[in-house]
Amino acid sequence: MNNLTTDVAIIGGGLAGATAAAMLGRAGHNAMLIDPHTEQRPEFRCEKLDDSQLALLRLTGLADDVMPQTCADGKVWVVRYGRVVDRGKNSPAGILYHDLVNAVRQQIPASVPHIATKAAAISGNAGRQRVTLATGDEIEARLVILANGLNPGLRETLEIKREVLSPCHSISIGFDMKPDADQPFAFPALTVFPERPGQAMAYLSIFPVRGGMGANLFVYWNMEDPRLRTFRHQPKEALLELIPTLTNFTGPFAIDGQVSIRPIDLVRVNAPERPGLVLVGDAYSTSCPAAGTGVNKVLTDVQRLCSTYVPAWFCKGTIDAADVADFYADPVKVQCESDSLQKALWLRRVSTGTSMGLRSWRGARFVAQSALGRMRGLKQLDVTARDPSDLLRGA
């Protein structure tokens, strides 16, 4: 059995852990990253970064290294009530999750070693933490950053409970799309909002990623819904049954490769304050992928922790539960958590609600985005988008 010593042991090398390792390493801290995989493997997670996320990435100092890996391809066409209402909105930067995490991991300085195994247990006090690895080796650290995502094992051994705020809040369906013809799709990126609450969907987003066009569909169904089974076996048929007008915008298309289906519970840990131990990213709380705020939460946590709290704690010496509580109460973090939860709850309500108020809200949104689209240079608002050749003429 080996005993290793460091100041910061980071458990988990997803976006949260990798960003923490890069930031702390670049700042000259003594740190180690523990994750069983030396490279992030393909996983269905965040596949695009919006402007707010790129701004946060800039705060971490990693934006210049990640941006060259993204496909930021012009404008996104927005469809509401079966019409293209806007063609001028900036498209998010498409990047597959493993490309994003691996780009961040490449920025981790060589001074931060990667220990390629699982952490099996954590124990300690305000002065010292001990991480026992699956190999039996042990790491002693002043601070443990727990960034192990949804994995419950370590959290449960620490007796940190999770509160489920909204079970099966949404289901994310991810797949690749390609046009049937040799021509590319007419749009750089496309977002289709539902026409009626009965569809129980937030939206469909089609966007460029490395090697083609990715698609994310976010729905509010339960896992027993027969439509999910159709999505697994006949995804194109299921998609057209849900959005019968889709080919008006895409033209004939095919769904390429595997379809990933992920249900998401909204959860948050309860009373996680422990001396010398901080939970960040999904390990602290989850977000709804439809609301697209998971990366904001991850980057806010890590940026606040690594640039403000860690340096102050190391000047002070010990890290007790009250110090850790200060981090969880950080006003920027608290605001980000609150915005993320409110957006998730609101999006579900506004997408599925049938009250007069919500119908009016959806109508108002249609009018507002149409006006915005017109302002952004949409020439033919009255194009009904029932005829693809109309769309192509106006493109």
CB atoms within 10 A of CB 263: 14
Least Cβ distance, residue 157 to ligand FAD (angstroms): 10
191 binds ligand FAD (CB under 6 A): no
User: Using the rule CB under 6 A, is 9 a contact of ligand FAD?
Assistant: no
When asked if residue 336 is in the footprint of ligand FAD (CB under 6 A), the reply is: no
- Nearest residue (CB) to ligand FAD, 168 versus 371: 168
The CA R_g of the chain, rounded to the nearest whole Å, is 23
For the CB of residue 300, give the shortest distance to ligand FAD in the complex, in Å: 11
Q: Which is nearer to ligand FAD, 43 or 320 (CB)?
A: 43
Minimum CB–partner distance for residue 281 and ligand FAD (Å): 2
Q: What would the 3-class secondary structure string for the chain be? A: CCEEECCEEEECCCHHHHHHHHHHHHCCCCEEEECCCCCCCCCCCCCEECHHHHHHHHHHCCHHHHHHHCECCCEEEEEECCEEEEEEEECCEECCHHHHHHHHHCCCCCCCCEECCCEEEEEECCCCEEEEECCCCEEEECEEEECCCCCCHHHHHCCCCEEEEEEEEEEEEEEEEEECCCCCCCCCEEEECCCCHHHCEEEEEEEEECCEEEEEEEECCCCCCHHHHHHHHCHHHHHHHHCCCCHHHHCCEEEEEEEEEEEEEEEEECCCCECCEEECHHHCECCCCCCCCHHHHHHHHHHHHHHHHHHHHHHHCCCCHHHHHHHHCCHHHHHHHHHHHHHHHHHHHHHHCCCHHHHHHHHHHHHHHHHHHHHCCCCCCCCCCCCHHHHHHHC
Cβ atoms of 2 and 10 closer than 8 Å:
no
Name the residue with the smallest CB distance to ligand FAD.
14
Residues 47-76 that bind ligand FAD (CB under 6 A): 48
Under the binding rule (CB under 6 A), the answer on residue 210 touching ligand FAD is no
Site for ligand FAD contains 201 (CB under 6 A): no
CB 32 within 8 A of CB 42: no
Q: Applying CB under 6 A, does 298 fall inside the site for ligand FAD?
A: yes
Choice between 263 and 394, CB closer to ligand FAD: 263
Q: Which of 118, 130, 178, 376 binds ligand FAD (CB under 6 A)?
A: 118
Tell me which of 8, 9, 10, 17 binds ligand FAD, using CB under 6 A.
Answer: 17
By beta-carbon proximity to ligand FAD, the closer residue of 17 and 188 is 17
The footprint of ligand FAD on residues 258-287 (CB under 6 A) is 262, 281-283, 287
Regarding 99 and contact with ligand FAD (CB under 6 A), the answer is no
- Within 144-173, the residues that bind ligand FAD by CB under 6 A are 147-149, 151, 153-154, 172
Residue 136 binds ligand FAD (CB under 6 A): no
Size of the site for ligand FAD (CB under 6 A): 35
**Closer of 194 and 294 to ligand FAD (Cβ):** 294
Is 235 one of the binding residues for ligand FAD (CB under 6 A)?
A: no
378 forms part of the interface with ligand FAD (CB under 6 A): no
- When asked if residue 37 is in the footprint of ligand FAD (CB under 6 A), the reply is yes
Query: Pairing mode, if any, of strands 201-209 and 3-5?
Result: unpaired
**Of positions 208, 235, 289, 373, contacts ligand FAD by CB under 6 A:** 289
For residue 13, state whether it binds ligand FAD (rule: CB under 6 A). Answer: yes
Q: Binding residue for ligand FAD (CB under 6 A) from 107, 293, 351, 370?
A: 293
* 354-363: long-range contacts, CB 8 A cutoff, minimum separation 24: 354/197, 358/197
Residue whose CB is less far from ligand FAD, 147 or 190:
147
192 binds ligand FAD (CB under 6 A): no
What's the rounded Cα separation, in Å, for the pair 259 and 222? Answer: 17
| Residue 341: both structure tokens together | 């939860």
Min CB(348)–ligand FAD separation in Å: 15
What is the contact surface with ligand FAD in residues (CB under 6 A)? 11-17, 34-37, 44-46, 48, 118-119, 147-149, 151, 153-154, 172, 262, 281-283, 287, 289, 292-295, 298
